[in-house]
Structure 1
Amino acid sequence: MPLLKRLLAWFQPDTSRPLTQAWLAALWMGLLANWPLWKQLQALPEISGARGALFIVAFAGMVTAASGALLSLLAWPRLIQGLLVVLLLASAALAHFIGSYGIVFDPTMVVNMLQTDARETRDLLSWRLLVSLVLLGALPAWWLLRRPRAPAQAFAKRLVGNLAACGLALVAMVLLALAVFADLSSTMRNYKTIRYMVTPLNAVYSVSSVALRRQAAPSGPPAVIGADARLLPRAEGAKSPLLLFVVGETARAMNFSLNGYARPTNPELAKLPVVSLRQVASCGTATAASLPCMFSPLGRTAFGDLKGTQENLLDVLQRAGLAVLWLDNQSGCKGLCDRVPNSPTSRLPEGAAPLPPGLCSKDEMGEEECFDESLLHELDKRIAALDPERVQRGLVLVMHQMGSHGPAYFKRSPADLKPFQPECKSNALQQCERQQVVNAYDNTLVTTDRLLARSIAWLQTQQARFDTGMLYVSDHGESLGENGLYLHGMPYAMAPAEQTHVPMVLWVPEGGGVAASLKPGCLQSLRDKPASHDNLFHTVMGWVGARADVYKPEWDLLASCRS
């Protein structure tokens, strides 16, 4: 009879015990919340037939055992239920986003998520997300919270039980790994993104990694760079520089018709004397990673190793004596513009006319979103509000676009600028035909094209006073369903070219001081030369005639063209 009772206990566990709750949650999350992972593994060509099915079963056992081992250590009465509710809801959300968009959840994605504003978050909300949260998260959490309180147990006895469960789980995980070691090592080596699809371990690792990194970062203001920043002397009668630096969002180079794309996504720029660089690599695959790196003198590799924070291009330009203004139509400048004049498009200078009707609209939550053309509104008044002495020396104006931010691409282009139809009018991209997704995305590029053309037209009105020019570059690219991937944010080493190959466009007007300093035809020779975000800091410094000890002429794209 005692033996029979023990056997029955395996099938009727005491669900009031924290350790039992931990393992039931580990089974639920390991097997059900990882459905995108099992779907991904099943689609791999190396994993097929009976052997492939055996590997997936063994891998599922390993995931469950690893989750159970971790949760066993945390299976304490006052801790486990609250922790499991959070993990269940997080796992349900991750299952939706990984399954819908093919993204992975790594530390970079955590940083990007923390810096996402309410407007961007709303674009990700859908009924499918709600269903996933309810079925995979809320229902098991509700069941869990209805369990009776666990009977009192001595601390030592509970600790021994938790450690024993953790140890057995680790042994089971090792045995399963050894049983399918050949397939496991090959899969993890060839498909490195899989490790960031294992829910909830991906969330635990990534959030912990970001928290530890921030804790270890030195406190205090950013480190000073370019303390010797200065302006080079200009010839008598030479005009002060006015550089418009447009920071694009989510534009990928391969969809720019200037770069050979078959569709006319750059109809207005094609009529202008611009130079499009076709081989430009981004610094990251998400705004939170790329934007700070773009404005750093270090380059992608050294910036990734940077401990703490340091000043950026805007600080150095301002220290050199130039006027700097950041205009934002996105989720902020990620701290880059904190020490220079900055403004969102919605905050107009004193005496400015209101934004024209149709340029902005309110969503269902009452929040206002404006098209990027609002960045050009009342620019003269914005410049007039800056320090006139600095403006007289020169001005660098940075415009941060909303650009092609997804997944609601259809919101990023006005009704009169949607040449590619039909377009996907949903944020659930996987539910649209892929061509509709591409149509909606390409319409955003046509919108950016018009912004850049009108920006050049405005710059031409300033040529009596300034030596003008424009530099446009996107922060990262975008996946549009290739290989089942949507959006962006993949770990850089594993990211497809769609997410790292970005457009860069230069406008250097003939007759200006910059054009006169360049060898004839040299700009055109830059079209197919490899470039990256590493070049931006130094190219801007060289363009406006600023110098500092951090300036590297070999990283200045225009240096080789100067006479």
Structure 2
Amino acid sequence: MKNALIHFYIFSLISTLFLGICFTSADFLTIPVEMGKDLLVIAFQWAVVTIALFFLITLLAANKYIFAITFPLLTFLSSLLAWFRLTMNSALTPMILDAALENDIRTSGDLCSPGLIIFVLVTFALSIAFAIYRIKRIATQTFVIPACVSALLLVGMLQINAVKPISERIPFNIYYTFMKYWEEKQVISEDRTDLTEGIQCCDEEVTVVFVLGESLRPDHLGLNGYERNTTPLLAKEEVISFPYVYTEQTYTNRSVPHLLTRADSTDYSRAYTEKSFVSFFNACDFYTVWLANQEAADTYVYFKF
């Protein structure tokens, strides 16, 4: 039993190094290094993430059937993240996940390349080899005590604020990003407060055109005093500009609710609890329409007017 346990831990360590070197390291190779101290800090951070990864792999490998299912899947997802991290310096975020799930097959297919396919297939084949080895060469089906110890240590590491960046590194960011994305989906599905009670409108002939320049800095508009004439056509019209409206979010399904509600730096929650100001026009029986230069993906049309 002792020899089997040692064999199991060696196997878990090698499996961890496989993931840590092939995939987790991709998160650190793109970090600029100017001096030896920077290199030591990066090495320490990688080591911390890898230690947490060792506890995770030990937990999964404690049962050979669980390992046979989860390890190839973990390898497949990690290989995708590592490839795009190294080739495009793109990390997994709720925004990236949202785009990946909503893009059509043709758009997603444009990101595929021969290098990506080869890298994914080779690493996936290696993960299958690890799974087969665990089933055939390590006799004990389940290691209960190592599983319990690893679970406790892993939870403990993830709870320590000093190592919180673990959740942002491959492969841990797979779970945490999906959870954050799911939380956002839950938030946007909730009913919003309607502020139009008692509203009245005395002018039925007015036409309002509201131009929302998302992902655009107001100080880069000629209307707002920018030195370059970036808005020549709008400058010819009687336009009212709102140069101090902004959002700290960087993608549509989070920034638009912030821009179109009373949300500000003192109360972000309004973006998740109130309907937009367009609802006031609807309450006054105006005909309203939303024109956009992007597809009406599900994540963009949830916002209730």
- Give the corresponding residue for 2:287: 323
Alignment of 1:278-297 (within 5 A): 280-297=245-262
1:39 partnered with 2:29: yes
Residue 281 to residue 54, structure 1, CA distance change in 2 (3 Å): same
Q: CA deviation at 1:105?
A: 3.1
- What is the CA–CA distance in structure 1 between the aligned matches of 2:303 and 2:269, rounded to whole Å? 21
Residue 291 to residue 277, structure 1, CA distance change in 2 (3 Å): closer
Q: CA deviation at 1:122?
A: 4.6
8 Å CA contact 1:112–1:286 kept in 2: the answer is no
Residue 282 to residue 54, structure 1, CA distance change in 2 (3 Å): closer
The code of the aligned residue for 2:129 comes to W
The code of the aligned residue for 1:286 comes to Y
The code of the aligned residue for 2:145 comes to V
1:59 partnered with 2:45: yes
- What is the CA–CA distance in structure 2 between the aligned matches of 1:303 and 1:337, rounded to whole Å? 18
Q: In structure 2, the residue corresponding to 1:79 is in which secondary structure?
A: helix
- Give the corresponding residue for 1:226: 195
Please give the per-residue CA displacement for 1:399-422, whole angstroms capped at 9, x wherever unaligned.
xxxxxxxxxxxxxxxxxxxxxxxx
- What is the CA–CA distance in structure 1 between the aligned matches of 2:128 and 2:153, rounded to whole Å? 29
Q: CA deviation at 1:316?
A: 3.8
Q: 2:58 aligns with which of 72, 78, 83?
A: 72
- Give the corresponding residue for 1:312: 276
- What is the CA–CA distance in structure 1 between the aligned matches of 2:119 and 2:141, rounded to whole Å? 38
1:143 partnered with 2:129: yes
1:83 partnered with 2:76: no
Q: 1:159 aligns with which of 141, 144, 152?
A: 144
Residue 253 to residue 298, structure 1, CA distance change in 2 (3 Å): closer
The code of the aligned residue for 1:69 comes to F
Alignment of 1:90-101 (within 5 A): 90-101=77-88
The code of the aligned residue for 1:82 comes to I
The code of the aligned residue for 1:32 comes to C
Please give the per-residue CA displacement for 1:512-555, whole angstroms capped at 9, x wherever unaligned.
xxxxxxxxxxxxxxxxxxxxxxxxxxxxxxxxxxxxxxxxxxxx
Q: CA deviation at 1:148?
A: 6.1
Q: In structure 1, the residue corresponding to 2:65 is in which secondary structure?
A: coil
Residue 278 to residue 311, structure 1, CA distance change in 2 (3 Å): closer
Aligned alpha-carbon RMSD (Å): 4.4
Consecutive unaligned residues of structure 2, counting only runs of 5 or more, are none
Q: CA deviation at 1:205?
A: 1.8
Q: CA deviation at 1:213?
A: 6.3
Alignment of 1:396-545 (within 5 A): none
More helix by share: 2
Q: In structure 2, the residue corresponding to 1:240 is in which secondary structure?
A: coil
- What is the CA–CA distance in structure 1 between the aligned matches of 2:25 and 2:148, rounded to whole Å? 29
Residue 53 to residue 336, structure 1, CA distance change in 2 (3 Å): closer
Q: CA deviation at 1:30?
A: 2.0
Consecutive unaligned residues of structure 1, counting only runs of 5 or more, are 178-183, 341-563
8 Å CA contact 1:254–1:261 kept in 2: the answer is no
TM-score if structure 2 supplies the norm length? 0.72
The code of the aligned residue for 2:226 comes to G
- Give the corresponding residue for 1:504: none
Q: CA deviation at 1:225?
A: 0.9
- What is the CA–CA distance in structure 1 between the aligned matches of 2:258 and 2:109, rounded to whole Å? 27
- Give the corresponding residue for 1:246: 211
Alignment of 1:263-274 (within 5 A): 265-266=230-231, 268-269=233-234, 274=239
- Give the corresponding residue for 1:434: none
Larger of the two Rg values belongs to structure = 1
8 Å CA contact 1:116–1:331 kept in 2: the answer is no
8 Å CA contact 1:97–1:103 kept in 2: the answer is yes
Residue 277 to residue 118, structure 1, CA distance change in 2 (3 Å): farther
- What is the CA–CA distance in structure 2 between the aligned matches of 1:143 and 1:254, rounded to whole Å? 56
- What is the CA–CA distance in structure 2 between the aligned matches of 1:130 and 1:255, rounded to whole Å? 41
- Give the corresponding residue for 1:488: none
Please give the per-residue CA displacement for 1:30-72, whole angstroms capped at 9, x wherever unaligned.
222134432244x244xx22x4443333322211111121233
- What is the CA–CA distance in structure 1 between the aligned matches of 2:56 and 2:233, rounded to whole Å? 57
Q: CA deviation at 1:302?
A: 3.2
Q: CA deviation at 1:199?
A: 0.9
Q: CA deviation at 1:227?
A: 4.4
Q: 2:226 aligns with which of 260, 273, 281?
A: 260
The code of the aligned residue for 1:285 comes to T
- What is the CA–CA distance in structure 1 between the aligned matches of 2:104 and 2:207, rounded to whole Å? 31
How many residue pairs match? The answer is 300
Q: CA deviation at 1:141?
A: 3.1
- Give the corresponding residue for 1:380: none
The code of the aligned residue for 1:325 comes to V
Q: In structure 1, the residue corresponding to 2:209 is in which secondary structure?
A: strand
Highest RCO, 1 vs 2 (Cα 8 Å, sep ≥ 6): 1
Please give the per-residue CA displacement for 1:444-472, whole angstroms capped at 9, x wherever unaligned.
xxxxxxxxxxxxxxxxxxxxxxxxxxxxx
